[in-house]
Structure 1
Amino acid sequence: MDAPFEIDHRNVLHGWAHAPGPGRHRRGAQPETAVTGLRFAFYGRTSTAEFQDPATSRAWQREMAESVIAGHGVIAGEFFDVGCSRRVPWMRRPRAAALLEQAHGAARGFDAVVVGEFERGFTDRQFHEVAALLDVHGVAVWLPETAGPVDLADPDHRVLMQVLAAQSQREVLRSRHRTLAAMTAQTVEQGRFLGGRPPYGYRLVDAGPHPNRAHAAWGRRRQRLDPDPVTARHVRWIFAERLAGRSTAGIARELNERGVPCPSAADPGRNRHRSGQAWNLRSVAVILANPRYTGRAVWRRNQSATPGEGRRMVPAEWAISASSAHPALVTEADFVAVQQIRAARMTDDGVIRGYQLAGLIRCGLCGRLMDAHWVNGRAGYRCRHGHHSARPAPPDRPGNLYVREDHLLVELAQRWKVDGNNSASPASGVTAHLRSRNMVVVHDRTGWRVVARDDL
């Protein structure tokens, strides 16, 4: 007896839908014929893998590309970037760079490039730059917006490319503004945890349903920071030691001697890019500079200015929650005091030079904190207005500003009537007075004035 016919149940409906028969052909469809002609390289892109489905994004972009080249050729190669912003130049996108590299080769496998949507591939002047590179090797770029190859010798195409570039750039700026404004409001008004790794000393705990009702219906939950039962005490100890005047090097050294796991060793799953071997100066300094240990939600301490680059925002530009967002590991007053501490450095002869007003004097000309500077056997402070010896000084830069510490201490002590009777010394009395009131001394060539930090 013959073996029974085996049906592939996964493909029965698909096979039936495409089999010949009445009512199973699309109206107007023509019999498939072999397509010959140009070989195309398809390029597509999606910004993120976390918030977009790369498979879905690739599918609709490729469908658009195939509709453009229908009847003119076939896609012979595919280059699809995942996790790349459109602002990133093509040479810095892995797959786009590979496409350009193959275009330069004598044995390339395509004759033209097709992009599923202009905004998926380009912004600003990127199209002109890429098209020029490909044109050298006789490779044209096809777009749905032009229903075929782009001809930059055609005035209409040139105008269209300029409009598309401006529209793409406008979308980038609008999306960025909306996102920044929304995240700032979520931080300031709601104290929301916006994602990322929890700081050393904290862990993530459930904070209830997601505030967006649609996300909540899908089961998404909010998270917030909570003191980690193992590492929180080390953070408190680090701040206490720093407040006692200990250097970051000394703190790191004792943590290593005591065998305390460093941040990347305590949470290796979220720190795979770190060695996890030991504490160092930077790991201690990062903890001491993190304002989230005060219990406030803080966001936008760094800002990406251009792709691959960024700048550290000054505290006045941070987004800080209006109220406490999670349990604090250090008081706000202690955190601020730590930011004003500058460790004394040991000279070659073993002498430690002390600077009583370190972190408390600002330049009245440029607004920078003045650097502690030892000159002629005395403590002083200077400001070079951002200049350093690694680059030439601009001709319009103001001259260096200097102030002697001993003279300034005497004047401040006389102003507040600080003497040795009510403090250990006039210097410590002046320093304590400034720190307790969160004030700084602003100095310029005409003199000095005391200003609250919040007024700067």
Structure 2
Amino acid sequence: MTAESAGPVDPWADFDLSTADHHETGPSQRLRLAFYGRCSTEDAQDPKTSHDWQLLAARNLLRTAAPDGEIVADFFDIGQSRVLPWKRRREASRLMRALDQPSRPFDGIIVGEGQRCWFGSQFSEVAPVLEHHGVSLWVPELGGCYDPRNSTHYMLMTLTGGMSRGERQRVQERVRLGMAVQVENDGRYQGGRPPYGYTVVGYAPHPNPRKAAEGFQLKKLVPDPERAAVVERIFADLLAGRSLRAIVAALNEEQVPCPSAADPARNAHRDMTGWQVPTLRAILTNPRYTGYEVWGTFKKTETLIDPEDPTWGYRTRLVRSDAKPVRSREQTHEAIVDVVTFTRANKVLSARGAVSQVSKSRRNRTRGTSHALQGLVYCSICGRRMQVNRSDVSSAEPSGLRYRCRLRDLTPGSAAAERHPRSVSVGQELILGKVRTWMVELFDGDLRDEAMAGLLAAAAAPRLVDVQTERLHERVAAAETKLRRFGQAIALGTNPAALVGPMNEAQEELAAAQIELSLITAPARAPSQERLQRLFDDIGGQVRHLLAPQRSPELLREFFVETGLRLTWDHPDRLLHAELDLSESLSSDLRETGEIRGVKGRVRGGT
């Protein structure tokens, strides 16, 4: 009789034993994490404080969830709205590009607050990429590491993005309602550039105690006598039967400073070349000249950058509001024109058809849309930005878009007007084709080494800020030496009264030199070869993708702006001069001084 078996025999036992992995597991590797955070400057956040508390929150999470972990890299976006997707945030996009690098120094990412990092559906776009590269994600709201196989984790993270979106919308709505009430009930000035003819003055402490303690005041508009007289003249001339173009010609001939020239500090971005018809129309239709505060004429709207790829996010635009603006119940500042005069002037504009239906239809064909080179093309003759104009579609210009500079828009009698042709224009397709070729060669082709060598040479050259700093240090040392000698003379018995004047002069010289020295930004360190190599690799990786013909105009223009592209059309020689300013693409210490300007080139090609 055989012994009874203790249990069923597994027929796969020998096979499983022979194929088992008997390798010993080595010592566990320390968890290396990259910290990511973000702060916006819209609500006056202190970037350093925001960075430090988010980093502290990340470290507190490590202490409880992963005591063996350490933060080895830091990625922090400053002044980047949460609405921007990660691929459009400077530091976040740099972090994502580092994921597929073999020498990546981190194994996971840790954040200080989920709502600051993800907005709307952004987490759904980032999480699959992290999972693909095997990078873990640590979030305080989850109390540890995100598990892509845990549906609860995914629901919580998408909920976090939705809460972030809802929070932003609630804040926007509260701010809008609050500003509307302040204007309607109190007539409070809401800031911004004052209309031509007015200046802004403070008249009372701010009602918020904290802001009042910091010196903030409520402000109101006060007429500037000289400029207010020009505004009165414009209204009077219009009601006397003169056309807008005739008024513009008279103001320019009399060399009356236009609004941008009258206040260059606030209008450094404008051409300041004289009065224009749109400038007059903006003055004639601005109800604030009646003494009433008005708010809500324009509104912010968000449109998709690339409708074919929503992951690029939205672009915020300022457009004229279709809702009725909010007007104060009573006059809040001294009027330059009365309500009756303002109303009569606007009726005259409407009756005359100051903006004809034909002109409206022509402008509306390009209004409300962004074009790839809008605001980036300049005329070499007058130095002004060339305006977008849509012409008939042709084989040479499939889009029908051209950039134009007209003689009629220049100040009569100016030096530029004397040599300017009646109209200068160049097609967008011609420019884009040349720019695409040039930028590919520059960042990922034959011109790359030459451009990098030029940037390094420019950084190594003596800079004006260094010379100024050296001279100011010499002035400080000389003044301190004088004061020290005066002190020694007094100690040796010299009458102090005889040295009061020289000592005061030396003290004033010392104080002046120290103030000038404090106003000079510390000189930036020159970029290394490795830093420029990474910069060119980062931009070069985007060039071929973003400059593909099918990319949206909004996305193209954003890329051109970020790389500091400036194009100058030389009409007499039929040449396109291109210049890139890479200071914004360098690290923050280089970006602050802007010493590394960029590279220039000439893109040949006739029309």
Structure 1 partner of 2:321 = 313
3-state DSSP of counterpart to 2:270:
coil
The one-character-per-residue Cα deviations of 1:382-417 (angstroms, maximum 9, x if unpaired) are x99x99799xxxxxxxxxxxxxxxxxxxxxxxxxxx
Residue 36 of structure 2 is aligned to residue 43 of structure 1? yes
Structure 2 partner of 1:325 = 332
The one-character-per-residue Cα deviations of 1:416-443 (angstroms, maximum 9, x if unpaired) are xxxxxxxxxxxxxxxxxxxxxxxxxxxx
Distance 1:249 1:166, change over 3 A: same
Structure 2 partner of 1:301 = 297
Shift of 1:99: 2.6
3-state DSSP of counterpart to 2:265:
helix
TM-score normalised to the size of structure 1?
0.63
Q: Check whether the contact 2:116–2:164 (CA below 8 A) recurs between aligned residues.
A: no
Residue 252 of structure 2 is aligned to residue 268 of structure 1? no
What CA distance in whole angstroms lies between the structure 2 residues aligned with 1:389 and 1:221? 41
Q: Where do 5+ consecutive residues of structure 2 fail to align?
A: 1-27, 303-314, 368-607
What CA distance in whole angstroms lies between the structure 1 residues aligned with 2:246 and 2:269? 25
Range that drifts further, 304-313 or 119-128: 304-313
1:65 aligned to which of 49, 58, 63 = 58
1:222 aligned to which of 206, 218, 223 = 218
Give the alignment of 1:35-184 within 5 angstroms. Answer: 37-48=30-41, 51-70=44-63, 71-184=67-180
Shift of 1:188: 0.6
Q: Check whether the contact 1:340–1:358 (CA below 8 A) recurs between aligned residues.
A: no
What CA distance in whole angstroms lies between the structure 1 residues aligned with 2:105 and 2:224? 55
Higher helix fraction (1 or 2): 2
TM-score normalised to the size of structure 2?
0.49
Shift of 1:58: 1.4
Q: Check whether the contact 1:86–1:120 (CA below 8 A) recurs between aligned residues.
A: yes
Residue 244 of structure 2 is aligned to residue 248 of structure 1? yes
The CA RMSD over aligned residues, in Å, is 3.1
Q: Where do 5+ consecutive residues of structure 1 fail to align?
A: 1-34, 344-355, 360-368, 375-382, 391-456
What CA distance in whole angstroms lies between the structure 2 residues aligned with 1:96 and 1:213? 38
3-state DSSP of counterpart to 2:98:
helix
Q: Check whether the contact 2:118–2:161 (CA below 8 A) recurs between aligned residues.
A: yes
Shift of 1:358: 4.4
The one-character-per-residue Cα deviations of 1:241-271 (angstroms, maximum 9, x if unpaired) are 2333433333333322222222222222222
Distance 1:237 1:134, change over 3 A: farther
Distance 1:249 1:38, change over 3 A: farther
Q: Check whether the contact 1:89–1:126 (CA below 8 A) recurs between aligned residues.
A: yes
Q: Check whether the contact 1:36–1:72 (CA below 8 A) recurs between aligned residues.
A: no
Which amino acid letter does the alignment assign opposite residue 147 of structure 1? G
What CA distance in whole angstroms lies between the structure 1 residues aligned with 2:82 and 2:358? 46
Which amino acid letter does the alignment assign opposite residue 308 of structure 1? T
Q: Check whether the contact 2:131–2:148 (CA below 8 A) recurs between aligned residues.
A: no
Which amino acid letter does the alignment assign opposite residue 317 of structure 2? E
What CA distance in whole angstroms lies between the structure 2 residues aligned with 1:47 and 1:325? 33
Which amino acid letter does the alignment assign opposite residue 329 of structure 2? A
Q: Check whether the contact 2:108–2:137 (CA below 8 A) recurs between aligned residues.
A: yes
Q: Check whether the contact 1:264–1:275 (CA below 8 A) recurs between aligned residues.
A: yes
Which 4+ runs in 1 deviate beyond 4 A? 104-109, 356-359, 371-374, 386-390
Identity of matched residues, %: 40
Shift of 1:232: 1.6
Distance 1:198 1:107, change over 3 A: farther
The one-character-per-residue Cα deviations of 1:282-306 (angstroms, maximum 9, x if unpaired) are 3333222322112111112111122
Which amino acid letter does the alignment assign opposite residue 143 of structure 2? A
Structure 2 partner of 1:32 = none
Give the alignment of 1:347-366 within 5 angstroms. Answer: 358=353
Structure 2 partner of 1:449 = none
What CA distance in whole angstroms lies between the structure 2 residues aligned with 1:389 and 1:320? 31
3-state DSSP of counterpart to 1:304:
strand
What CA distance in whole angstroms lies between the structure 1 residues aligned with 2:154 and 2:222? 56
Which amino acid letter does the alignment assign opposite residue 219 of structure 1? G
